[in-house]
Amino acid sequence: MRAAADRLLRHAAAKPLLLVALLAPLGGLFWGAATGGLGANPAEALIRSTGDWTLRWLCLALAVTPLREATGWAVLARFRRLIGVTVFVYALLHALAYAWLDMGLVVADIVRDIPKRPFVLVGTLALMLLAALAATSFDAAVRALGARRWKALHRAVYAVALLALLHFFWMRAGKNDFAEVGVYAAIVAALLGWRAWRRLRRPAAARGVSA
């Protein structure tokens, strides 16, 4: 069974199919916007949904390494870059939806709003870090930075996860809606906790390896 799964994951169609699956929610949002299917407040639905899917795909990106080690399917690593870039695309669309639908693309108002509202500030910081990771996600960046520095930079994904969770918490705090926040907090805590546990179990010389 493992061999069959390995062959499927290595198939040339695996990445395109994954990309279609990752972008399917976005297609659903565009369809909803075009057909009036986003409810009474489509602007809020677009902003909220793009943010929700950013956090979901971020959790998926963080889950690749634990799943790879749990299943023994080393081939899963080939999908991590695609998922990571998709996270940035959703985050960028989330920010653009906020800038356009909430702030009317008025740059001065956006600049004033970022430090004024904590959830906007941490969301902006997370987006900046994601932009740096997306810009250096290609083989040429690995060669230019060197493997050690590239790995150190890409550990910033853990900070992104914490900032995204804090952004989500402050977004929901105004409505006293913490149930979904608790679910994501548990997932992120498990994924980052697994990495901390694995790192502590390693010999000191091996701790430079990226997770």
Within-domain flag for 100? yes
Write out the residue range of the structural domain in which residue 198 sits.
2-206
Within-domain flag for 18? yes
Higher pLDDT, residue 77 or 177: 77
Within-domain flag for 211? no
Q: How far apart are the first and last CA of the chain?
A: 26
Contact 57, 87 (CB under 8 A): yes
Within-domain flag for 73? yes
Confidence of residue 203 (pLDDT cuts 50, 70, 90): low
Number of folded domains in the chain? 1
Q: What is the pLDDT of residue 210?
A: 47
Residue pLDDT, tens place only, 14-28: 999 999 999 999 999
The single-letter DSSP state of residue 55 is H
